Amino acid sequence: MTERDITESGVASGTATPVVSLRQVRKVYGSAAGPRTALQDITFDVARGEFACVVGPSGAGKTTLLRCLAGLMPPTSGEAMFEGAPLRSVPAGIGVVFQDYGRSLFPWLSVVRNVDLPLRVRGVARAERAARVAEVLTSVGLADAGRHYPWQLSGGMQQRVAIARALAYRPDLLLMDEPFASVDAQTRFELEDLILRVRDEFGVTVVFVTHDIDEAIYLADRVIAISKSPGVVTEIVDITLPRPRDQIETKRDPAFAAYREHLLGLVMSR
Amino acid sequence: MPANLLPYLRLAGTALTRAWLFIVFFGVWWFWSAGSKNLYFPPLESIVKALWTQWATGPARAELASSLEHLIVGYVIAACLGIGIGAALWSLRYAREATSPYLYFLYVLPAPVLVPAALTLFGIGFTMKVVLIAFAAMWPTLLNTMDGMRGVDTVKLDTSKSLGLPRWRNLLQVVLPAAAPQIVAGLRNSLQVAIILMVVSEWVASTDGIGYYIVNAQESFDYVDLWSGIIVLAIIGVVANLLFVAVENRVLYWHYGARAVEGASR
A33 and A81 within one domain = yes
A76 and A15 within one domain = yes
pLDDT tens per residue across span B147-156: 999 999 999 9
Task: Using DSSP, state whether A181 is helix, strand or coil.
Answer: coil
Assess if residue A52 is contained within a domain: yes
Task: Using DSSP, state whether A168 is helix, strand or coil.
Answer: helix
pLDDT tens per residue across span B33-66: 988 888 888 999 999 999 999 898 888 899 999 9
A86 and A19 within one domain = yes
Q: How far does A122 lie from chain B, in Å, by closest CA? A: 8
Q: Which of A133, A124, A200 is nearest to A166 (CA)?
A: A133
Rounded CA-CA distance B77/A183 in Å is 47
A154 and A64 within one domain = no
Rounded CA-CA distance B162/A94 in Å is 7
Number of domains in chain A: 2
Determine contact, residues A149/B258, Cβ cutoff 8 Å. yes
Judged by a CB distance cut-off of 8 A, whether residue B5 touches chain A is no
User: DSSP secondary-structure letter at B174?
Assistant: I
CB–CB contact B161 A92 (8 Å): no
Instruction: Read off the pTM.
Output: 0.87
Q: How far does A188 lie from chain B, in Å, by closest CA? A: 19
CB–CB contact A103 B254 (8 Å): no
Rounded CA-CA distance A24/A80 in Å is 9
Residue A130 has pLDDT above 90, yes or no: yes
A44 Ramachandran zone, left/alpha/beta (phi>0; psi -120 to 50): beta
CATH number of the CATH domain containing A233: 3.40.50.300
Using CB atoms, pick whichever of A90, A151, A169 lies closest to residue B161. A90
Determine contact, residues A175/A96, Cβ cutoff 8 Å. yes
A177 and A137 within one domain = no
What is the mean predicted confidence (pLDDT) over B166-183? 96
Judged by a CB distance cut-off of 8 A, whether residue B264 touches chain A is no
Task: Using DSSP, state whether A156 is helix, strand or coil.
Answer: helix
What's the angle, vertex CA B148, arms to CA B146 and CA B153, rounded to 5? 125
Residue A14 has pLDDT above 70, yes or no: no
A164 and A180 within one domain = no
Assess if residue A100 is contained within a domain: no
Alpha helices in B123-209 (DSSP H): 126-150, 154-162, 167-170, 176-203
Assess if residue A205 is contained within a domain: yes
Decide which of A153, A170, A187 is a domain's last residue: A170
* Total Cβ atoms within 10 A of residue B14: 10
Using CB atoms, pick whichever of B153, B162, B166 lies closest to residue A94. B162
pLDDT given for residue B86 in this prediction: 94
From chain A, pick out residues whose CB is under 8 angstroms from the CB of B164. Answer: 90, 92, 118, 121-122, 169
CB–CB contact B261 A121 (8 Å): no
Residue B83 has pLDDT above 70, yes or no: yes
A175 and A87 within one domain = yes
What is the mean predicted confidence (pLDDT) over A222-243? 90
Assess if residue A28 is contained within a domain: yes
A184 and A128 within one domain = no
Helix (H) or strand (E) holding A111: helix A111-121
Decide which of A128, A144, A170 is a domain's last residue: A170
Assess if residue A99 is contained within a domain: no
A184 and A82 within one domain = yes
- Strands of the sheet containing A94-97, edge to edge, are A94-97, A173-177, A205-210, A51-55, A222-226, A233-238
Strand A173-177 relative to strand A205-210, pairing = parallel
A235 Ramachandran zone, left/alpha/beta (phi>0; psi -120 to 50): beta
CB–CB contact A108 B156 (8 Å): no
From chain B, pick out residues whose CB is under 8 angstroms from the CB of A122. Answer: 164
Structural domains of chain B, ranges and CATH numbers in brackets: 42-265 (1.10.3720.10)
Domain of A134 in residue numbering reads as 107-170
Residue A7 has pLDDT above 60, yes or no: no
Answer whether the bond into residue A230 is a cis peptide, omega within 30°.
Answer: yes
pLDDT given for residue B124 in this prediction: 84
Assess if residue A234 is contained within a domain: yes
Assess if residue A98 is contained within a domain: no
A209 and A77 within one domain = yes
Assess if residue A146 is contained within a domain: yes
Please state, for a pLDDT cut of 90, what percent of chain B lies above it.
62
Strand A36-46 relative to strand A20-29, pairing = antiparallel
Residue A2 has pLDDT above 50, yes or no: no
CA B101 to centroid of chain Cα atoms? 26
A131 and A247 within one domain = no
CB–CB contact A92 B156 (8 Å): no
Determine contact, residues B236/B252, Cβ cutoff 8 Å. no
Q: How far does B254 lie from chain A, in Å, by closest CA? A: 5
Decide which of A135, A170, A205 is a domain's last residue: A170
A36 and A113 within one domain = no
